[in-house]
């Protein structure tokens, strides 16, 4: 950009903006964590987070970290809570990166060397790691259980969250997106984008996207651009439970904390293994690999791509023209009737139970 071609006021504005960018870049710093706190490092990840500025990187060296973040207040709902790790809105843009003993970034989940367990006791379902800030990245980490109570392994209410190359081992846990800052006036989510890529999602851990996440209601162009940046790719899912590995949860489910519609995502190059074996109607209503239920824009859910561009040990779909056009069904949940359910199922009997006259059932076998 040639500043001499701008009016004087515009030149000053551009110079101020450039200086602001340079200031932010200059402020970004890198700190480190190891269990002993030696070599100038912190001995806890939360200690490093609390000392970090927005945009900083925290390098986590090999070891086991049992983390507690007590006395934390949430901007949108208030109240004081204890999480395991807490990344506040004031810490937006930070990266927590697992490294090896030499300080080299871990870029494969098979090579993670830092394991995080948490001590969360918050009363809206324990949230081991709570991400309030925007543009936060967790990468190259092992993430385990929350012994005081299992529910949400990671809870995300910030926009543009990235979970990459992590190994998540929290049976009955969840990577859970819910929009505390949903704009009811414009019917638009604060959580517009996210990226979940290259992770090992171990048995019983699910990806749950609900309560307004991914709703962009400003323009068709904005909605399409945001959809391109909601990505679930190259993950490995292992599941023996009755709930799906990936679930999108809008309103019209009877569930009181699913208040708003949700948007879809690009889901590709994942490997799904579901070993549930059951003839229980309860299980057959709920099981699956990928599911959407309640209110959502089905045009943002490319079921044909989900079917063709992912690997499954066994998968089934039913509908008038599967996999593009899937049958929607309803079932009775804990809080009432759950409507508008579509899915890629894991058990043949589940799809047979919801088939209508003229429907077709497709099966896919892999591995």
d(CA 259, CA 212): 7
Average of per-residue pLDDT across 63-77: 96
pLDDT range class, residue 8, cuts 50, 70, 90: very low
How confident is the model over 145-162, as pLDDT tens digits? Answer: 999 998 999 999 999 999
Partner residues linked to 269 by β-bridges? none
Average of per-residue pLDDT across 116-143: 97
pLDDT range class, residue 217, cuts 50, 70, 90: confident
pLDDT range class, residue 276, cuts 50, 70, 90: very high
pLDDT range class, residue 114, cuts 50, 70, 90: very high
pLDDT range class, residue 187, cuts 50, 70, 90: confident
Average of per-residue pLDDT across 122-133: 96
State percent of the chain over pLDDT 90: 84
pLDDT tops 60 at residue 83? yes
Closest-CA residue to 148 (of 190, 120, 169):
120
Average of per-residue pLDDT across 194-215: 96
How confident is the model over 280-297, as pLDDT tens digits? Answer: 999 999 999 999 999 999
**Whether 319 contacts 344, CB under 8 Å:** no
pLDDT range class, residue 133, cuts 50, 70, 90: very high
Average of per-residue pLDDT across 297-305: 96
pLDDT range class, residue 13, cuts 50, 70, 90: very low
pLDDT range class, residue 367, cuts 50, 70, 90: low
Q: What is the pLDDT of residue 39?
A: 95
Average of per-residue pLDDT across 134-150: 96
353 burial (CB, 10 Å; 0-12 / 13-18 / 19+) is middle
Average of per-residue pLDDT across 49-70: 98
**Selected residue with higher pLDDT from 297 and 14:** 297
Partner residues linked to 362 by β-bridges? 317
Q: What is the pLDDT of residue 218?
A: 82
* pTM of the entire predicted model: 0.91
Closest-CA residue to 156 (of 201, 117, 207):
207
Which helix or strand (DSSP H or E) is residue 228 part of? Answer: helix 220-228
pLDDT tops 60 at residue 11? no
Q: What is the pLDDT of residue 3?
A: 31
Q: If you average pLDDT over every residue of the chain, what do you get?
A: 92
pLDDT range class, residue 173, cuts 50, 70, 90: very high
d(CA 215, CA 187): 7
pLDDT range class, residue 214, cuts 50, 70, 90: very high
pLDDT tops 60 at residue 24? no
d(CA 173, CA 164): 17
DSSP 14-37: HHHHHHHHHHHHHH--EEEE-TT-
Among the listed ranges 24-33, 144-153, 271-280, 295-304, which one has the minimum average pLDDT value? 24-33
d(CA 297, CA 281): 27
State percent of the chain over pLDDT 70: 92
pLDDT tops 50 at residue 92? yes
The distance between the two most distant Cα atoms of the chain, rounded to a whole number of Å, is 74
User: For 28-158, where are the alpha helices, taking DSSP H only?
Assistant: 45-51
Closest-CA residue to 306 (of 222, 229, 356, 231):
231
Q: What is the pLDDT of residue 122?
A: 97
CB atoms inside a 10 Å sphere around CB 179: 26
């Amino acid at each position: 950009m040639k500043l001499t071609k701008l009016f004087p006021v515009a030149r000053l504005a551009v110079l101020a903006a450039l200086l602001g960018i340079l200031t932010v870049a200059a402020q970004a710093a890198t700190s480190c964590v190891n269990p002993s706190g030696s070599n100038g490092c912190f001995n806890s990840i939360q200690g490093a987070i609390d000392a970090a500025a927005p945009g900083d990187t925290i390098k986590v060296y090999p070891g086991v970290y049992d983390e507690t973040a007590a006395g934390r207040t949430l901007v949108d709902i208030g109240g004081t809570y204890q999480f395991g790790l807490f990344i506040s809105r004031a810490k937006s843009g930070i990266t927590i990166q697992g490294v090896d003993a030499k300080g080299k970034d871990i870029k494969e989940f098979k090579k993670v060397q830092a394991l995080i367990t948490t001590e969360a006791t918050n009363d809206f379902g324990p949230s081991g790691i709570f991400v309030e800030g925007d543009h936060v990245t967790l990468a190259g980490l092992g993430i385990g259980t929350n012994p005081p109570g299992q529910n949400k392994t990671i809870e995300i209410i910030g926009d543009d969250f990235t979970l990459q190359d992590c190994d998540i081992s929290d049976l009955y846990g969840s990577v859970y997106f819910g929009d505390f800052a949903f704009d009811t006036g414009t019917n638009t989510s604060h959580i517009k984008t996210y990226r979940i890529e290259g992770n090992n999602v171990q048995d019983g851990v699910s990806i749950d996207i609900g309560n307004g996440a991914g709703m962009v209601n400003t323009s068709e162009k904005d909605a399409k651009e945001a959809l391109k940046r909601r990505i679930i790719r190259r993950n490995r899912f292992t599941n023996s439970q009755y709930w799906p590995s990936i679930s999108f949860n809008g309103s019209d489910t009877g569930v009181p904390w699913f208040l708003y519609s949700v948007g879809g995502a690009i889901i590709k190059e994942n490997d799904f293994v579901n070993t549930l074996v059951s003839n229980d109607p309860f299980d057959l209503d709920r099981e699956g690999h990928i599911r959407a239920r309640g209110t959502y824009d089905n045009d943002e859910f490319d079921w044909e791509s989900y079917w063709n561009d992912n690997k499954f040990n066994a998968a089934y779909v039913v509908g008038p023209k599967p996999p593009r056009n899937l049958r929607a069904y309803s079932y009775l949940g804990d809080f009432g009737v759950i409507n508008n359910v579509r899915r890629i199922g894991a058990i043949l009997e589940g799809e047979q139970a919801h088939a209508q006259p003229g429907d077709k059932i497709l099966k896919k076998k892999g591995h």
